[in-house]
């Protein structure tokens, strides 16, 4: 019996020899994305046309792509988000969609902390000024004592809370599905507005809300303390980027750290603000965590295809 055909569509995959041998023992590798770029929908259609299984990243598995692959049975994602996959189309075809939930917690939490520290200490601004041979002093602030508002207290949000607590930040969280936080000192906000009005730093750690407006919209920013810092390492659709731009312009938001944007790569007006840091959706992309995620994706796929 011929082996099932595998397409590796993720833009970067460290296919070392042990992983390659393990995959080749179960699959015929029919396609590997070696471009270093996220595939477009037409490119993805061509890549998966003959595939029984896929190892995927954040490329768009729309209904068009899924229906172009009549033999497709499993999509194993390197990562945790599912908003790049048309789950209705996948479910309608009986295609399983798997994620690597365990490997992203520490790297995303560390990246979140790095953005917060860079914003409070104004690291990026000092670096840019030095490149221009400008050496003025900017007003930075202590992180200790700043109230950190965490929206979404899953594994990543909880780990961010632990890291910030170690640095002396009181924590307030909003998550209607969590009644008892990991740390009894953390304050539970009974409403989103309570968190928005009480936090000096707001960080997002929840899934994209399908068919819902952005969580942080103009009204939400109006509820925030003046000078708040916003960090989003979750999903770009959670933030109304025009409302954020206006809030930065008015001073309501002092700075923003974004690893995710609605359209990636980002090229809009937020880049005109010195106290905005944008990274290209790389929060989980450390050497150690990337290897762990890829190994988890491989094992998830093999298990699903051999059950």
Q: Which active-site residues does the annotation give?
A: 235, 264, 281
CB count in 10 Å sphere of residue 297: 25
Query: For the chain, what's the residue count?
Result: 307
User: Cα(73)–Cα(12) distance, rounded to whole angstroms?
Assistant: 22
How many angstroms separate the Cα of 183 from the Cα of each of 96, 131, 163? 35, 42, 12
- Joined together, the tokens standing for residue 48 give 């998966």
DSSP one-letter string for 65-128: HHHT-TT--EEEESSS--TTB-HHHHHHHT-EEE---SSSHHHHHHHHHHHHHHHHHTHHHHHH
Residue-wise burial string across 191-213, b where 16 or more C-beta atoms lie within 10 A, e elsewhere: ebebbbebbbbbbbbbebeeeee
Beta bridge partners of 76: 55, 98
Place of tokens 């923003």: 256
Do 193 and 67 contact (CB within 8 A), yes or no? no
φ, ψ at 75 (rounded to 5°) = -115, 115
User: Cα(155)–Cα(80) distance, rounded to whole angstroms?
Assistant: 11
Contacts of 91 (CB under 8 A, 6+ apart): none
- Rounded to the nearest 10 degrees, what angle do helices 155-166 and 105-121 cross at? 40
């Amino acid at each position: 019996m011929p082996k099932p055909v595998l397409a590796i569509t993720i833009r970067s995959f460290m296919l070392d020899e042990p992983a390659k041998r393990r995959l080749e023992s179960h699959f015929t590798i029919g396609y590997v994305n070696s471009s270093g770029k996220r595939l477009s929908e037409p490119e993805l259609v061509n890549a998966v046309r003959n595939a029984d299984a896929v190892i995927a990243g954040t490329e768009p598995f729309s209904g068009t792509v899924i229906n172009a692959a009549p033999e497709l049975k499993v999509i194993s994602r390197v990562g945790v988000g599912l908003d790049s996959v048309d789950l209705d189309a996948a479910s309608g075809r009986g295609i399983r969609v798997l994620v690597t939930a365990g490997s992203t917690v520490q790297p995303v939490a560390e990246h979140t902390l790095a953005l917060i520290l860079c914003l409070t200490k104004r690291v990026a601004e000092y670096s840019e000024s030095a490149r221009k041979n400008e050496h003025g002093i900017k007003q930075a602030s202590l992180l200790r004592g700043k109230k950190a508002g965490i929206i979404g207290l899953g594994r990543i949000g909880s780990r961010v809370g632990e890291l910030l607590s170690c640095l002396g930040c009181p924590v307030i969280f909003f998550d209607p599905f969590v009644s008892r936080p990991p740390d009894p000192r953390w304050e539970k906000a009974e409403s989103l507005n309570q968190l928005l009005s009480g936090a000096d730093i707001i960080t997002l750690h929840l899934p994209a809300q399908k068919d819902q407006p952005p969580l942080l919209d103009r009204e939400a920013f109006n509820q925030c303390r003046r000078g708040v810092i916003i960090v989003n390492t979750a999903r770009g659709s959670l933030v109304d980027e025009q409302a954020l731009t206006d809030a930065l312009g008015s001073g309501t938001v002092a700075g923003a750290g974004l690893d995710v944007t609605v359209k990636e790569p980002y090229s809009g007006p937020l880049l005109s603000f010195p106290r905005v840091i944008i990274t290209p959706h790389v929060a989980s992309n450390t050497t150690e965590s990337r290897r762990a995620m890829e190994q988890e994706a491989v094992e998830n796929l093999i298990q699903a295809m051999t059950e």
